[in-house]
Amino acid sequence: MATTPSASAPHPGRPGGADAKSPPPGASRHTYAAIDLGTNNCRLLIARPTDGGFTVVDAFSRIVRLGEGLATSGRLSDAAMDRAVDALGVCADKLKRRRVSLARSVATEACRRAANGRKFIDRVKDETGIALEIIPPQEEARLAVLGCHKLLEPGDGPALIFDIGGGSTELVLVDPGDEGDVPRIKAWWSAPWGVVSLTESEGKASIEGPDRVAAYGRMRERVRHSFARFNELLPADKDNIRLLGTSGTVTTLASVHLALPSYDRRAVDGLHVPIEAMREISDMIAQMDGTERAALPCIGAERADLVVAGCAILEAILDIWPAAQLGVADRGIREGILRALMARDGHVL
């Protein structure tokens, strides 16, 4: 449910346009890349460091549904693996064309859970040359925080950063650090529900059927139950709290909130939306059938079947962390990887 970032003027962590030919004066000549292969999407960013940030020179995102059917079979299907390998082949071509110096490529929940996940990693290496690293949930959460924490609202209270993926949802409780510092992680949790796994747990027929509102309630309850132990770790005093989401779900719902005719990263990344507005949009989407959801410009047919599960996960998060508004980030794991790679080479971001 993510989209390829649109071009904009260079700024720390913001794409600078896929047609850039060379780094600005004084910038490093090294080119870095990050690939994030999730349960639903394959995403790539290629960037060069600049003063205080980086400029993205190329980007790619494709829905591959690698985890489709995984919940019932325990394995990655041949068709899903073929889709992912094809997308990774595009990434490999971009890495060569942009002469990438250093890259990190990670795979998350689908490959962690699949019985044939390791075999798939070997196939990717053989066919594309890309060495995918299956990372644990804690590393996935750390990278997401590193990639998007700069969009947290200023404040002294604790913050919850979350990433709704295809096969899992990562929740990270952080304490504010000094301005510009990466917040300290106090607790984190990985729930086994993402937009693909939760959709398959209920069944598309139920989500589309006449009792779809009841199906939505069941999905919310599944997610709420999976958050129960993490909820015990949250502070009882929820004053001055902040909430930031990085995922296709939150960027899509923010686009609906803005009534955008098409997705515009510049309008969405860094936006803050009142919680009640997000709940109203989630409730509206849960009541729609597939045709009605597909007619919404920033959802479309490609995302219409999975967005309901994303809404259910989001509302379960809002239940445990009742912030006044939701910060929206169109950045996350890939940006976290890039920042870590560049920092290791001495760049101040």
Q: Is the pLDDT of residue 181 over 90?
A: no
Average pLDDT in the 160-175 region?
A: 95
Residue 221 Cα distances to 122, 198, 202, 209, angstroms: 38, 11, 12, 19
Predicted confidence band at 178 (pLDDT cuts at 50, 70, 90)?
low
What is the predicted pLDDT for the residue at 7?
Answer: 29
Mean pLDDT across the chain: 90
Tokens of 340: 């870590």
Average pLDDT over residues 215-239: 94
Name the more confident of 184 and 115: 115
* In contact, 152 and 244? CB cutoff 8 Å: yes
Q: How many CB atoms lie within 10 A of CB 98?
A: 18
pLDDT value at position 237? 83
Mean pLDDT on 227-239: 91
Q: Which domains, from first to last, does the chain contain?
A: 32-138+333-344 (3.30.420.40), 151-329 (3.30.420.150)
| Rounded distance between C-alpha atoms, residue 231 and residue 234, angstroms | 5
